[in-house]
Amino acid sequence: MVIAVAMDSREGDPLPWIDAAKPTYPTLIDREHRLAELYGIVNVPQAVWIDEAGRIVRPAEPAGAYEGFRRMNRATREMPDDVARRTAQAKATYLDAIRDWARNGAGSAYAFAADQARAHLPTVTEDTATGQAMFRLAQFLLRHGERNEAERWFREASRLHPDSWCIWRQGAGVTELGLAAQPDFWERVDGLGAKRYYAPVDMPGMP
Amino acid sequence: MLLTESGEHEVTGAEVSTEALWCSAKDALRATGWEAKPEGLCKGEVCVPLPAGRAREFVDGGRINLAALWRHLGRPAVRSERGHVWVLSESARERQAALASLEAPDFALPDPSGRMHRLSDYRGKKVFLVTWASW
């Protein structure tokens, strides 16, 4: 089954999307990014595969995402053809892998054995753990009208956990489309250089 | 206000300084599960002995200094500038160990109607746990 979790601090924001998707599975709202603390989620979409016994068979990883958006035309939001193709291919490859696991379980080539799963775990450091705690503090203060101090904690959280786009984008301003994609976002993305926006996924056929 | 693993806890009468968060034994137990026992500070069956000669940094009469305990445990304790909100969370080592067990950490989150769902409610099924966001 699917459990979809919106990493959205402003609780109302995901509701129109959920209404439009008419999901047949649980859609939950993670205002304080609990899944980031527990599973090491740093971006969306990221997914974790969990078997019937509650064991992790694929730790947090980008879920069929390809960072082709970095090459889109930022004025028109159009994608070059080859980027659009690779984006579609990443999504299809990942979806096929999930279906294969749903059918074949531990026999699926995409389900990691325990030692492989451990080798793919995200690394939690004192800095990232403290950064997540600061993020939670920032969320609480923001919700209680203390925006100025909240913004300082967002910045400090992001400084300690720079790989978390979830922290950075929740602390950032949004465009009229509700996207945390103002010029400062693009600056930060461009600043990645050769570094990936979505961590590479260890799966044959993924770009 | 204490934000802990078990949720948000209103605490009255806490005494706060830059380094200290003194709470009544009752509040400490309610918010964190920790309490003072003859063995030291304990959560359930797990006890941490207090460093020799430094017990007063942690326990004073009926009160517990949760900030000192958290530092002692190597866990993040983050406070607002005025000290009216504290976040007491788990250490990196604890989070990493939980993940390395490969037992999917349980959580409880609301759906749009406010109904809470726990991951463990769905034990017995494969779960594709996927995050997204409006932003």
In a domain, B11, yes or no: yes
For residue B112, give Cα distances in angstroms to A6, A11, A16, A30: 10, 9, 11, 11
pLDDT at A178 over 80: no
In a domain, B135, yes or no: no
C-beta of residue B99 within 8 angstroms of C-beta of residue A39: yes
Asked if A124 and B127 come within 8 Å (Cβ–Cβ), the reply is no
Amino acid identity of A105?
Answer: G
d(CA A164, CA B4): 21
* B126 with A49: Cβ contact below 8 A: yes
A56: Cβ–Cβ under 8 A, 6 or more apart, which residues?
A: A48, A49, A50, A117, B99, B102, B103, B104
pLDDT of residue B124: 98
Range of the domain at B77: 2-94
> Could you say which of A18, A48, A146 has the minimum Cβ distance to residue B129?
A48
Q: What is the pLDDT of residue A68?
A: 87
What would the two tokens of residue A16 be?
Answer: 């129109």
Q: Examine the pLDDT at A12 and tell me if it is beyond 90.
A: no
pTM for the model stands at 0.94
Across the interface, whether the CB atoms of A134 and B87 are under 8 A apart is answered yes
Mean pLDDT of A27-43: 97
DSSP state, A123? P
Whether A50 sits inside 8 A of B76 (CB atoms) is no
Average pLDDT of chain A is 94
pLDDT tens-digit profile of B97-108?
A: 999 999 999 999
How crowded is residue A31: how many other Cβ atoms within 10 Å of its Cβ?
18
Q: Which residue in A51, A125, A137 is closest to B78 by CB distance?
A: A137
Per-residue pLDDT at B18: 84
Yes or no: say if A11 and B114 are a contact pair by the CB < 8 Å rule.
no
Q: Do A133 and B78 touch (CB under 8 A)?
A: yes
Residue B14 in any domain: the answer is yes
Element (H, E) at B53: none
Work out how many domains chain B is built from and give that number: 1
pLDDT digits (tens, 9 = 90+) for B65-93: 999 999 999 999 999 999 999 999 999 99
Neighbours of A55 (CB within 10 A): 16
The answer to whether B56 and B50 have CB atoms below 8 angstroms apart is: no
Quote the CA–CA distance of A5 and B135 in Å, as a whole number.
Answer: 13
Q: Are A43 and A164 in contact (CB under 8 A)?
A: yes
Name which of A1, A56, A134 is nearest B104 (Cβ-Cβ): A56
- Tens digit of each residue's pLDDT (9 = 90 or more) over A109-166: 999 999 999 999 999 999 999 999 999 999 999 999 999 999 999 999 999 999 999 9
Instruction: Give the residue with greater pLDDT, B20 vs B12.
Output: B20
- Does A20 lie at the interface with B, CB-CB under 8 angstroms? no
> Alpha-carbon distance A168 to A130, whole Å?
15
The answer to ipTM > 0.85 is yes
Has residue B72 been placed in a domain?
yes
